[in-house]
Chains A and B, each alone.
Chain A
Amino acid sequence: MGEIIVNLDVMMAKRKISLGELATKIDITPANLSVLKTGKAKAIRFSTLMAICNVLDCQPGDILEYKTETNN
């Protein structure tokens, strides 16, 4: 089994947006966004993903990435 990597920090750096600012714009707590950014999250709601894509002006594929075990 591979794993899903969250590249939110890369996208945030590209858009030059801070964690707190993004959290306010998508209306979730910075603590929860931090959980998502560090890859500790177990699931992500479509609504959250949509809000992030909307604010960062990107596609879900830019934030999430699938890595197979052999690639590691």
Chain B
Amino acid sequence: MGKLRYKLLKLKTIRLSFDIIFIAVALFLVTFLVINVILICQNQLIIAGNAAIYPNKEPIVLDVDTCSQINGVNLDFKSEFIKVKYKMLFSEKHSVIIFYHVLKILTLNLPLILFLFILFHLRNIINSVLKEFNQKKRLISHYIFNKKNIKRLHYIAYAFIIFPFIELSAYWADNLLLEQYFVLKGMKVRSIISLQILSWDYIIIGLIFITIIEVIRRGIALQEEQDLTI
């Protein structure tokens, strides 16, 4: 009985810590969103951000002296592009501005949203274990590996797989906007996020998750069969 109580206490502590982290991150996210929205409301017609400028024909050759002379432009010597901060002022309210603002907020907060999503489902899994723990006294493995929790794990796996594709669509949208409104003669203006930077490894994590879930699912089926063999 003492052991059982100890396990219960341990689970409750884990749930509490999950709750605290979840609330803290959620509060941070909400604050960040509110600040973003306020800033956007103040500068409705301005679009600002970072862009990468690639030369069309010859690569950029710059020496240290040139760099120090260019004010407000960040130069990266390792790559073949110049990182610039841009600010575009639109003369009238445009659907593009709204779209861009939404896109910017989304891309900025995407990792946080994913983190919250995963945390929420993990907390629910622990909660379900605790709920059944209070009702019956069976093996803990029976509570974790049930169909509802398998569904939750699936959601986490799908979130991992979808994540880089959301980033990719944001990258495309950013490129589209820059190409249309930011024109420099002889230069190619692109999004600062490159295809290589996107979190492609998340897909592997998601696939590993799905594989593990399939193994667990098969285990559950075997367990059920064993339990119902008289």
Binding site for B on A (CB under 8 A): 28, 32-33, 35-36, 40-45, 48
Contacts and interface: CB of A to CB of B under 8 A. Distances in A.
Interface in B193-230: 224-225, 228-230
A32 B229 CA distance: 9
- The SS class assigned to the B binding surface is mixed
B228 A45 contact: no
Interface residues of B, number: 5
Interface of B: 224-225, 228-230
A52 B228 CA distance: 17
B224 to A, nearest CB: 8
B114 to A, nearest CB: 40
Contacts of B225: 42-43
- The 8 closest A-B CB pairs, nearest first, are A42-B228, A43-B229, A36-B230, A41-B230, A32-B230, A41-B228, A44-B230, A48-B230
A45 B228 CA distance: 11
A28 B230 CA distance: 8
A6 B224 CA distance: 19
Contacts of A40: 228
Nearest to A28: B230
Contacts of A41: 228-230
5 contacts: A41-B229, A41-B230, A42-B228, A43-B230, A44-B230
A33 B228 CA distance: 10
A33 B230 CA distance: 7
Nearest to B229: A43
B230 to A, nearest CB: 4
